[in-house]
Structure 1
Amino acid sequence: MMEPDRIAARLEALDGWRLSPDGRAILRRFEFKGFAKAVEMANLAAWLGNRRNHHPDVSFGWGYCEVAFTTHDAGGLTDADFACAARLNELVA
């Protein structure tokens, strides 16, 4: 698990991501007009998780999709979480 100052530095470089209240995950909420784009975003996050073998928690509904990365085995954040978040940012840019 990463040290808090390293988490803060890595998070600063990730546009749109924030630390979860418990400090064990990074989250980003994507907002859309309608339901279909939210579903597409959820599918993109799932696809990325499968490609990287690092699966996010995803919740979505009309107009939003929230993605959370954490490393369950480590009990918190690792480099893999930040790498996946950065790649997801690239894919939606």
Structure 2
Amino acid sequence: MEEREIAARLAELDGWQLSPDGKAIARRFEFKGFAKAVEMANLAAWLGNKRNHHPDVRFGWGYCEVAFTTHDAGGLTEADFVSAARLNELVA
């Protein structure tokens, strides 16, 4: 994807940021406690399995970080932005 298109798509996604290398989009979700962070990690994993587009997920006490990239393409594709938008819808 072109930089302009990435910037435009990212502007439509609440809470998501471009990674420093420009190859992924990520969002940090914050919670009180560990259980909600685990639930968020499981939700992101479930969505990845359902869409066959798997995110990188990190979590710990009070947070869950989700990142989408298309490894085969070596960067961002439409699938990353669609998956991020769908995850936003699920947690809204």
TM-score interval, smaller chain: over 0.9
2:82 is equivalent to residue 83 of structure 1: yes
Indicate the percent of aligned positions where both proteins have the same amino acid.
Answer: 86
Q: Secondary structure at the match of 2:81?
A: helix
Q: Which runs of structure 1 show a deviation greater than 4 angstroms over 4 or more consecutive aligned residues?
A: none
Structure 1 stretches of 5 or more lacking a match?
none
Q: Which residue of 2 aligns with 1:13?
A: 12
Q: How many residues align?
A: 92
| TM superposition score normalised by structure 2 | 1.00
Spell out the pairing of 1:65-80 with structure 2 (5 A cutoff).
Answer: 65-80=64-79
Matched to 1:18, the amino acid is: Q
In structure 1, the residue corresponding to 2:44 is in which secondary structure?
helix
SS across alignment from 2:32: coil
Q: 1:35 offset after TM fit, Å?
A: 0.2
SS in 1 for 2:72: helix
Counterpart of 2:50?
51
**TM-score (ref. length: structure 1):** 0.99
Q: Shift in Å at residue 5 of structure 1?
A: 0.5
Alignment RMSD, CA only?
Answer: 0.2
Distance in 1 separating the partners of 2:35 and 2:91: 15
Q: Deviations over 1:41-68 (max 9, x none)?
A: 0000000000000000000000000000
